[in-house]
Structure 1
Amino acid sequence: MSTSTSTSTTTTTDDAALKATHRAMWALGNYAAVASEIIAPLGPVLVEAARIGPGQRVHDVAAGSGNVAIPAARTGADVVATDLTPELLDRGREAAEAEGLTLTWKVADAEDLPCDDGEFDTVVSCVGVMFAPHHQAVADHLVRVVRPGGTIGLLSWTPEGFIGQMFATMKPYAPPPPPGAQPPPLWGHVDHVRELFGDRATIDSAVQQDLVVDQFATPQHFVDFFKANYGPTIAVYRHIADDPERVAALDADLRALAERFDRGTDRTVLDWEYLLLTATRT
């Protein structure tokens, strides 16, 4: 076997293993609870920003349990929802059927979308594609599958905001990222997204906004909820499970993070900053 063939095979094998790890991580806990109980307002925000409406062909990439796909379908749009994790799509399908909505749900990698060029009028992702490891590959497919003149709509946590800081807090306790993987919150900087798109898409709007989260009674309640439901947090705790001192330290660090952001009085109130961006395919 030639060196180039051997390297290509190794890269493919490593990437498959990485994607399997990502798929398993997001199946941990109960992300659908996070989507429905905490971040549900974000879906309609992105639907409105992307001007989704009746008859449009819409692709929700890294759709999870349908945080954007379902409100998009409510407008009368023809929606395809894809995600790497089938367990999340199953939850979304159940929720859509309960409302009498018909969507297409497909397992697919955001870095290798099985779609035709220019197939969609609008392509969106709400705190979804930002977690794919290879940002340029994702951007290339977002641009490829939307038609010229079509809309790309993205909602991403910022590095400086609460969730970006949560990932920074967990980083010292997590295993090292695989080679080539980029930090998810980079998608929360407009310059990063502009560089990824290049001259293939023109950014029309990019605004930082806050999701007000007041569902947690205390900072400790936030820690407990994420330890039980949020795949990335669960994965980090599993990584240090054999070291009680590090587990206790991460508990304290996450609680301190919530205390730092808490502006509530009778209960915890947190502002989770995100970047809301829309672009037009050139």
Structure 2
Amino acid sequence: MNANKALWEKGDFTQVAATMRESGEALVASIGVRPGMRVLDLGCGDGTTAVPAARLGADVLGVDIAGNLVQAGRRRAAEEGLANLRFEEGDACDLANLETGSFDLVVSIFGAMFAPKPFEVAREMVRVTRPGGRIVMGNWIPGDPTLVAQILKTSSAYSPPPPEGFISPMTWGVEANVVERFGTAGIAPGQITFLRDTYTFNFPGPSAQLVDIFRRYYGPTMNAFEAAEKSGRSEELRQELEALFDSHNRSSDKSRTSIPATFLRVTVQVR
């Protein structure tokens, strides 16, 4: 099986995505989605950004490599009666079933960054965007002190070494890499802008319970705990993550959790 597909089908990312809804809605509201606009949400999960884009009247296609998330997205669209929102299974590295220049806006928020072939991802995103359209990516930043970068850093410290040729998804959070990758797709540096932005995880329980959600449902953290179990270090990993989550919790009510996380927002103007 495709290793990336296996990773994201392993858990149930909808459990994590439920904590990200408010920020997803706020992000979509800020990127100029309009009625009738054709939008591709790449690595869409169960629709954290696809659903609010459809609510604004756009014609939205959500594509994700995880079949369970595609099914969850379809259920959300049906429950909300969003006939202008479709979900399909697909690979960000190869969108051969999508026509060239067919979208006004391509969005990928913490999605396409996890695909294993970043140069192919950049080329495909540019290819399916019409001239005059835009690409908006949200990418976690390597070494950033905020939550998700530290979760992934901590998890990798407990996990087996990656296979030969592995390119870390966190490299999408480095501006020079973004410029290089889109450059191979014909995008000049002046067509790319960068902004440090914030996504907030809101959870109706204490931070230790949110750690448990990541442990049970988030693929990278699940893998880290499986490896830690084998080496007798699972309790150490749990304590390290609980301390991390607790230190970042900004809720004044410690029976609830609100954790902001910085990310790199990339906007590409396609000509």
Same fold (TM > 0.5): yes
Residue in structure 2 matched with residue 105 of structure 1 by the alignment: 87
Residue in structure 1 matched with residue 134 of structure 2 by the alignment: 151
Q: Could you say what secondary structure the match of 1:133 adopts?
A: coil
Residue in structure 1 matched with residue 260 of structure 2 by the alignment: 271
Closer/same/farther in 2, CA of residues 205 and 146 from structure 1, 3 Å limit = same
Q: CA deviation at 1:213?
A: 3.2
Asked if 2 retains the 8 angstrom alpha-carbon contact of 1:30 and 1:230, the reply is yes
Query: Any idea what the Cα deviations from partners look like across 1:200-233, whole Å, max 9, x if unmatched?
Result: 2554542212223342644422321211221221
Closer/same/farther in 2, CA of residues 214 and 109 from structure 1, 3 Å limit = closer
Query: Any idea what the Cα deviations from partners look like across 1:115-173, whole Å, max 9, x if unmatched?
Result: 12111111111111111122111111111110111110111222203101111111121
TM-score by length of 1: 0.85
d(CA) in 1 for partners of 2:17, 2:169: 18
TM-score by length of 2: 0.88
Asked if 1 retains the 8 angstrom alpha-carbon contact of 2:248 and 2:259, the reply is yes
Q: Could you say what secondary structure the match of 1:141 adopts?
A: helix
Residue in structure 2 matched with residue 142 of structure 1 by the alignment: 125
Q: Work out which of the residue numbers 8, 32, 40 in structure 2 matches 1:59.
A: 40
Query: Any idea what the Cα deviations from partners look like across 1:83-141, whole Å, max 9, x if unmatched?
Result: 11111010010001101002222111000012121111111111111111221111111
Moved more, 253-262 or 87-96: 253-262
Structure 1 alignment gaps of length 5 or more: 1-16
d(CA) in 2 for partners of 1:63, 1:134: 18
Q: Work out which of the residue numbers 95, 99, 104 in structure 2 matches 1:121.
A: 104
Moved more, 160-169 or 173-182: 173-182
Moved more, 207-216 or 145-154: 207-216
Structure 2 alignment gaps of length 5 or more: none
Q: Tell me how many residue pairs correspond in the alignment.
A: 262
Q: Could you say what secondary structure the match of 1:273 adopts?
A: strand
Moved more, 251-260 or 154-163: 251-260
Structure of higher CA gyration radius: 1
Query: Any idea what the Cα deviations from partners look like across 1:176-201, whole Å, max 9, x if unmatched?
Result: 22222222222223332122112525
CA-based RMSD: 2.0
d(CA) in 2 for partners of 1:110, 1:178: 20
